[in-house]
A and B are shown apart, each in its own frame.
Chain A
Amino acid sequence: MSARLAQKIAFTILLLATLLVVLPVIFILGIIVAKGASAISWEFLFSMPRDGMTAGGIFPAVLGTLYLVLGAVLFAVPLGVLAAVYLVEYSSDNWFSRLVKLAIVNLAGVPSVVYGLFGLGIFVTFFRFGASILSGSLTLGIMILPVIITSAREALESVPRHFRTVSLSLGASRWQTIRHSVLPHALPGILTGMILGLGRAAGETAPILFTVAAFYLPRLPQSVFDQTMALPYHLYVISTQVPGIAENVRYGTALVLLTLVLLLNLAAIVLRSRFRRKKKW
């Protein structure tokens, strides 16, 4: 076989493999849009469900998911970034920091249903938060913590070493150096971690199953100690638990969830590119 022919075959296989990766994504998106787009309306997005969830809108679920994602990020991002700063800037390479890093890697591999049970045990029962937005947000927050810490660590480590040396050589303290010459330059990377975390928190069902999600609520949550409906769980409910829900409502709900995650990501990406434009080295 000639080298040229071998190359052609190889390229074809590579191209096919790539297409095979992209196809399911296009397929899924296509089906969801085709079957769900007809359900999308102002009323569907911004009104309460009616008639045993067979009619009306999904507003409480949309709002609930936004609350949960916001809560998870508010909890996990500061905590995760501070932990990453400690690991990268302060701790030396000893058994303790290695143990912490190992724990973080393992935390990332824990199945989401286990986080759900953990949240039930700790937040709902032990701390007596009950099934509430607070419990759900904290559970989701712990679930995305590894993503946030890992990406923040990578972002901090990618800030050139000499920024620190220069800052310290000009008489800045270690904390001033971190605050003024390291963190601002790590911000885009930290935001990337936040984006990844956002997407995961918005889409997961298992962690909110026992900690916050309500099957159906006639009114919107009033405080962080209330239960709430949430999109992923609502989707599960109307797809499997309640008979007689029109197909376009189910797919419409999936479309809303997908769009919500995309919009959140988009907002974070815009934010990140604005920071990036300012920083060049």
Chain B
Amino acid sequence: MVSAPAKFSIAGLHVHYGKLCVLRDLNLDIQANEIFTVIGPANSGKTTFLHALNRLVDLVPDSRLSGEVRLDGVDIRCGLEVEALRRKVGIVFALPLPLPISIFENVVYGLRMQGVRDAAVLDEAVERSLHESYLWDEVKDRLRSPAMNLSGGQQQRLCMARILAGRPDVLLFDEPTSGLDPISTARIEETMLNLKEKYTIVLVTNNVAQAARVGERTAFFLMGDLVEVSATSKMFTAPADSRTSDYITGKFG
């Protein structure tokens, strides 16, 4: 793990919303093709951390980002256009948020915005990404019907397909199963494990057990501080910090 160059390298990252400091002096590396999980109680800065990685924090008025975030060695704030960054670093939100258009149009939205017009390219992207998110068989006969008609779990897998269509490098998951039933959750987790072959995955989760199931390395955030980061198996058996063990064993949170 030391030899490979990091996908994301983060040094001295602070995020402020107005005067409020939500992430404090964060230093960590995320390796290519790992599932990096982030756990922690509410308001610990987990979502802000994800949103810093593809600059969605910019959308918050008065937000301020300082320190350095590098994607493949390139500074995400001055090294590339924000649109290009967001195509490389896709995000799946906590709630399934399909746009109120057809399944097909949801999947090709990003490509269309890039100016892709070729129907064959779009068709290929839809089939490939829906296969990758294990939704193809369920929707292949109704690609033109509204995405809102799908079930919650299907919608969430559609949201995955939507970012996969643009061939990203990194997938960010922000508590992607918080609104789903156990069977849909299992399918999403299975999908993530399969996607790891090709993509780097950062998974924020409220569900400690989920981090233990799919994560390779895990970071524990508390009130905007990174308390501990280590291999997931180590964190769940022998956490270095007492606050981590308190949280994992359910003493608070």
Residues on A with C-beta less than 8 A from B152 are: none
Contacting pair B146 A163 (CB below 8 A)? no
Interface residues of A in 71-88 (CB under 8 A from B): none
Choose one: A92, A173, A176, A181; the contact of B99 (CB below 8 Å).
Answer: A181
Let me know if B91 and A171 touch, CB within 8 A.
no
Given contacts A172-B113, A173-B83, whether A167 and B91 have CB atoms under 8 Å apart is no
B105, closest chain A residue (CB): A180
A171 to B163 Cα, complex, angstroms = 10
Docked complex Cα distance between A167 and B82 (Å): 13
The complex places the Cα of A173 from the Cα of B56 at a distance, in Å, of: 12
Q: How many A-B residue pairs have CB under 8 A?
A: 61
CA distance A166 to B56 in the complex (A): 10
Q: Closest residue of chain A to B146, judged by CB?
A: A280
Residues of chain A lying within 8 A (CB to CB) of residue B109: 167, 170, 172, 180
Query: CB distance B146 to A162 under 8 Å?
Result: no
| Number of interface residues, chain A, beta carbon within 8 A | 20
Complex formed: what's the CA distance from A163 to B109 in Å?
12
Asked whether any CB of chain B lies closer than 8 Å to the CB of A281, the reply is yes
Q: How far is the CB of B135 from chain A (nearest CB, A)?
A: 17
Does A169 reach chain B (CB closer than 8 Å)?
yes
- Say yes or no for A185: interface residue by CB 8 A criterion: yes
Q: In the bound complex, do residue B91 and residue A169 qualify as a contact, i.e. CB atoms below 8 Å apart?
A: yes
Residue in contact with A170 in the complex, picked from B95, B100, B110, B146, CB distance below 8 Å: B110
| Known interface pairs A163-B99, A169-B90, A170-B166; 19 further A-B residue pairs with C-beta atoms within 8 A, sorted by A's residue number | A162-B95, A162-B97, A165-B59, A165-B97, A166-B99, A167-B113, A168-B56, A169-B86, A170-B113, A171-B110, A171-B113, A172-B113, A176-B113, A180-B109, A180-B112, A180-B113, A279-B100, A281-B100, A281-B148
**Residues of B with Cβ closer than 8 Å to A?**
54, 56, 59, 61, 83-84, 86-87, 90-91, 93, 95, 97, 99-100, 109-110, 112-114, 146, 148, 162-163, 166
